[in-house]
């Protein structure tokens, strides 16, 4: 870890698996905050990853999933949901072992056209499948319910609104809730419990997609209101 003197915060080494909009947006924000980030893709030297690393300075690098996973103290899964297990297998269980894996992926299946369907739902979720496949990783599902620009800048959406976390490791979940506030400025983080709650947040995709159609903008979110107030981290 390094100290970022300007901000008085410790910079971390973070592996972001996935070079799409979500991976690149998260990785760019983490660099801006003074962290060292390696962006991972199926093959080291992919055009997108190289361009991203060149544009983001000395703390930015790129590599294959396994290299990025080895590099990071904390990891993000930003891979296409239907390919996440394959991508994480390529990252390697040993490189995930003992680490927080922040899973933002949704198992969206576009093979039957749009809107996409969920390839996993009801009695299982991608978050759970990842946790089962990699029992020594600390999977925390979060941020998958908002557009990636909102993930790293919730202030794009006016007013109070919520983000959800779930996972089996209480310490990892609390740490992620803290990082969401510190890195991105999330003010309300609702803990939904163990990783099986990923079923619920992944199943928010059908309503998210319809809201996108109805509102015509990407930057929106939900606010949970409850009788007698509510507790959130």
Ligand X SMILES: NC(=O)c1ccc[n+]([C@@H]2O[C@H](COP(=O)([O-])OP(=O)(O)OC[C@H]3O[C@@H](n4cnc5c(N)ncnc54)[C@H](OP(=O)(O)O)[C@@H]3O)[C@@H](O)[C@H]2O)c1
Chain residues in the site for ligand X (CB under 6 A): 18-23, 41-42, 46, 78-81, 83, 86-87, 104-106, 108, 144, 147-148
Q: Are 140 and 166 in contact (CB under 8 A)?
A: yes
Please report how close the Cβ of residue 217 comes to ligand X at its closest, in angstroms: 13
Nearest CA to 79 out of 21, 38, 29, 28 is that of 21
Please report how close the Cβ of residue 2 comes to ligand X at its closest, in angstroms: 27
Question: Looking at beta carbons only, is 19 or 131 nearer to ligand X?
Answer: 19
Alpha carbon distance 169, 135 (integer Å): 11
Question: Looking at beta carbons only, is 9 or 44 nearer to ligand X?
Answer: 44
Question: Looking at beta carbons only, is 63 or 81 nearer to ligand X?
Answer: 81
Please report how close the Cβ of residue 142 comes to ligand X at its closest, in angstroms: 10
Please report how close the Cβ of residue 152 comes to ligand X at its closest, in angstroms: 10
Question: Looking at beta carbons only, is 11 or 150 nearer to ligand X?
Answer: 150
Q: Can you point out the beta strands (E) in 83-227?
A: 100-103, 108-109, 117-118, 138-142, 163-167, 189-191
Question: Looking at beta carbons only, is 9 or 190 nearer to ligand X?
Answer: 190
Query: Which residue's Cβ has the minimum distance to ligand X?
Result: 20
Phi, psi of 230 (to 5 degrees): -160, 165
Neighbour order of strands in the sheet with 138-142: 60-64, 36-41, 13-17, 74-77, 100-103, 138-142, 163-167, 189-191
Please report how close the Cβ of residue 87 comes to ligand X at its closest, in angstroms: 4
- Residue pointed to by tokens 């590099």: 71
């Amino acid at each position: 870890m390094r100290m970022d003197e300007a901000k008085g915060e410790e910079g971390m080494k973070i592996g972001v698996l996935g070079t799409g909009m979500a991976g690149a947006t998260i990785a760019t924000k983490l660099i801006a905050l003074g962290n060292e980030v390696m962006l991972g893709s199926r093959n080291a030297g992919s055009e997108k990853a190289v361009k991203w690393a060149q544009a983001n300075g000395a703390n930015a690098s790129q590599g294959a999933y396994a290299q990025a996973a080895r590099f990071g103290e904390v990891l993000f899964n930003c891979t296409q949901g239907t390919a996440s297990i394959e991508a994480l297998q390529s990252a390697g269980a040993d490189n995930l072992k003992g680490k927080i894996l922040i899973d933002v992926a949704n198992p969206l299946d576009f093979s039957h056209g749009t809107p996409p369907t969920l390839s996993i739902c009801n009695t299982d979720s991608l978050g759970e499948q990842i946790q089962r496949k990699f029992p020594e990783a600390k999977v925390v599902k979060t941020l998958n319910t908002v557009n990636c620009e909102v993930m790293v800048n919730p202030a794009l959406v006016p007013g109070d609104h919520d983000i959800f976390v779930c996972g089996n490791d209480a310490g990892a979940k609390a740490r992620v809730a803290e990082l969401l506030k510190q890195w991105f400025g999330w003010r309300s983080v609702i803990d939904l419990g163990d990783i099986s709650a990923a079923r619920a947040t992944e199943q928010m995709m059908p309503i998210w997609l319809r809201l996108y159609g109805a509102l015509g903008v990407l930057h929106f979110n939900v606010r949970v209101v409850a009788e007698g107030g509510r507790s959130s981290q």
